[in-house]
């Protein structure tokens, strides 16, 4: 036997039985000599110096009067069992490491993660889900998934839809925490199975989209305000423009106008009509934003259009004493 193990056994027995036991043979048979069943482990050393674990069973041999006449020590090679135990411990450690790794991934996710069984009963959650509901993991596990949302029927339908379609994306629900706080979340969920492909339940990830919803509402309000502004602005411009066009058309009927005056009035009239057309285009912007705009091809006289543009810009360029000309070839 390993001497160090025998010394250690003597110390352990001395502490256990409250008496001093000498390291050596006494330590091996002390319990058996007192009629106490004794089975323990030792390391045996072969003649070649190799070592192997053994299970030692000690029995006191007695004569007819009950006196001890010897001891029977049976040592059984324990190598195979030790190897099995070592492999089992290694496997258990790997399982624990895998569980820790999986749990770490589960907890490190910024989204609220949750698993349910096929009935919609919660089987696991992470910290963000606890924060979302204001409940602890122990409180959530075993509770119905639907109980933590403002619309339980829609939440229950979420689970049923996942079970039917195997996955869903961007399924919006409003979570209600214990303190009454409501949070809009977008769920992505799918079913999960064991290694035999047997359905185990639903895995879902919820992302807080409350801020996004606020931004969307703000954009919608801004868009409505813009539409109102454009409508009002267009109306405010159209009213005086109609008056300008009306007066310019009346003045064009005056037979005493010089050719240059007629030209200027014609420019005013055409420019006003262009501006009215622009206002109408602004009012059509809502159709463009809604994707309902249509292209309406129409013919036009390019030389006339260029002549109108020349007259529109001629007044400003003449005021600034700039050279401006439009040439048409052909």
For residue 232, pLDDT over 80 is answered with no
Task: Say yes or no: domain 230-297 is CATH 1.10.287.
Answer: yes
Residue ranges of the chain assigned to CATH 3.30.450.20: 3-77, 109-208
Assessment of whether the complete model's pTM goes beyond 0.85: no
10 Å Cβ neighbour count for 120? Answer: 20
3-77 CATH pick, 3.30.1370.100, 3.30.450.20, 3.40.50.300, 3.30.360.10: 3.30.450.20
| Position 285 confidence tier, pLDDT thresholds 50, 70, 90 | low
Residue 292 has pLDDT above 60, yes or no: no
For 54, phi and psi rounded to 5 degrees? -140, 150
Instruction: Output the pLDDT for position 315.
Output: 67
Kindly give the interhelix angle for 259-283 and 210-252, rounded to the nearest 10 degrees.
160
Q: Which two tokens stand for residue 324?
A: 């401006």
Q: Which residues contact 122 (CB under 8 A, 6 or more apart)?
A: 114, 115, 116, 140, 141, 142, 143, 144, 145
pLDDT digits (tens, 9 = 90+) for 10-33: 888 888 888 888 888 888 888 888
- Cα–Cα distances (Å) from 103 to 95, 134, 321, in that order, read 12, 20, 79
All CATH 1.10.287 domain ranges in the chain, comma separated: 230-297
HEC profile for 153-200?
HHHHHHHHHHHHHCEEEEEEEEEECCCCCEEEEEEEEEEEECCCCCEE
Q: Which one, of 247, 129, 274, lies nearest residue 187 by Cα?
A: 129
**Range in 6-20, 60-74, 180-194, 227-241 with the lowest mean pLDDT:** 227-241
For residue 234, CA distances in Å to 237, 269, 324 come to 5, 18, 31
Task: Using the predicted structure, report yes or no on whether residue 291 has a pLDDT greater than 60.
Answer: no
- Residue from 96, 135, 105 nearest 205 by CA: 105
Does 287 or 54 have the greater pLDDT score? Answer: 54
| Topology given in CATH for the domain delimited by 109-208 | Beta-Lactamase (3.30.450)
Q: Which of 223, 241, 222, 247 is nearest to 279 (CA)?
A: 241
């Amino acid at each position: 036997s390993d001497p160090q193990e025998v010394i250690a056994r003597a110390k352990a027995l001395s502490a256990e039985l409250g008496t001093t036991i000498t390291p050596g043979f006494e330590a091996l048979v002390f319990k058996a000599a007192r009629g106490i069943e004794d089975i323990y482990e030792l390391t045996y050393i072969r003649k070649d110096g190799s070592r192997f674990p053994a299970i030692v069973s000690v029995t006191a041999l007695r004569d007819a009067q009950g006196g001890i006449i010897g001891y029977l020590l049976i040592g059984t090679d324990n190598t195979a069992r030790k190897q099995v135990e070592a492999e089992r411990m290694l496997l258990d450690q790997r399982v624990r490491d895998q569980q820790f790794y999986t749990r770490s991934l589960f907890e490190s996710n910024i989204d609220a993660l949750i698993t349910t069984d096929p009935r919609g009963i919660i089987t696991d959650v992470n910290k963000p889900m606890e924060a979302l509901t204001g409940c602890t993991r122990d409180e959530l596990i075993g509770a119905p998934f639907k109980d933590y949302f403002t619309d339980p029927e829609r939440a229950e339908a979420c689970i049923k839809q996942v079970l039917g379609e195997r996955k869903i994306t961007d399924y919006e629900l409003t979570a209600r925490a214990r303190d009454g706080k409501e949070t809009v979340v977008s769920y992505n969920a799918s079913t999960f199975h064991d290694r035999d492909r047997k359905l185990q339940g639903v895995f879902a990830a919820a992302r807080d989209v409350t801020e996004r919803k606020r931004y969307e509402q703000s954009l919608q309000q801004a868009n409505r305000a813009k539409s109102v502004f454009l409508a009002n602005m267009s109306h405010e411009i159209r009213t005086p423009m109609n008056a300008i066009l009306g007066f310019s058309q009346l003045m064009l009927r005056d037979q005493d106008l010089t050719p240059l005056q007629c030209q200027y009035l014609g420019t005013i009239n055409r420019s006003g009509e262009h501006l009215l057309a622009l206002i109408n285009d602004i009012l059509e912007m809502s159709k463009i934003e809604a994707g309902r705009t249509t292209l309406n091809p129409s013919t036009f006289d390019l030389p006339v259009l260029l002549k109108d543009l020349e007259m529109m810009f001629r007044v400003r360029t003449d005021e600034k004493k700039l050279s401006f000309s439009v040439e048409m070839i052909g």
